[in-house]
Structure 1
């Protein structure tokens, strides 16, 4: 996938790359384009909308330009994952286990995106409702706010 970034300095590019690298399923990240504002992300099972949303929150404005499927022959082989899949599962479980106050271990489910959001990434914030109260004597000054 190719994500168009609105960056002006190297620090912003570096921050955008860090955010993209930490996303779930990312294999490689590269910056391309004439002015270095195209972020090319390759991976398996990446939530593109959530990645763009996280980039907007943590780094800079981002817009998804292209999203295409890459054939398996182009992806670099990862021999360690194929030979020892059990070791990878053990390391992932150790990241998701936290100690409770009672000393028991508790498994924490992985989140849908980098910004540890609620169960629904696109949930709207709740608004507060205020009741308008009028003075029982009536407005003597002509202003209902007072």
Structure 2
């Protein structure tokens, strides 16, 4: 069962944010870690399986600054209908050209202009 854990941590500087992300990332069972909270970026969002939220919060308190659990919720897998819709969207063309591009062909013409003709002594 995947969980989404949001922990509010007092992080006044960029170094504290980096340290908090590292601590959360090395925890057992963590799949992804992110920062949220607008301009302040004061919330660490952890997604994982069987993550110890209380233990992670206590480590963040000891190593970074004051921390508290904001929310813990279960992440539900997407419904089958949504997965089918995603697969339909993936059938787009292999490349996209913002302007008109002719389709690739087997034969290409290469035009080379030699500014000094007949200067090659080897040929």
So what's the TM-score if we normalise by structure 2? 0.58
Aligned residues: 74
Quick one: which of 8, 19, 22 aligns to 2:23?
A: 19
Deviations 1:70-126 (A, max 9, x none): 01339xxxxxxxxxxxxxxxxxxxxxxxxxxxxxxxxxxxxxxxxxxxxxxxxxxxx
Task: Return structure 1 stretches of 4+ with deviation > 3 angstroms.
Answer: none
- What SS does structure 1 have at the residue aligned with 2:74? coil
So what's the TM-score if we normalise by structure 1? 0.49
Spell out the pairing of 1:122-133 with structure 2 (5 A cutoff).
none
Contact 1:3/1:66, CA 8 A, preserved across alignment = yes
Q: Aligned-residue CA RMSD in angstroms?
A: 1.3
Unaligned runs of 5+ in 2: 80-123
Say which structure is richer in strand: 2
Within the alignment, does 1:73 sit opposite 2:78 as a pair? yes
Separation in 1, partners of 2:63, 2:15: 12
* Structure ranking higher on relative contact order (CA contacts 8 Å, 6+ apart): 2
Following superposition, the deviation at residue 52 of structure 1 comes to: 0.2
Quick one: which of 28, 50, 54 aligns to 1:49?
A: 54
- What SS does structure 2 have at the residue aligned with 1:67? strand
Unaligned runs of 5+ in 1: 75-146
Contact 1:16/1:60, CA 8 A, preserved across alignment = no
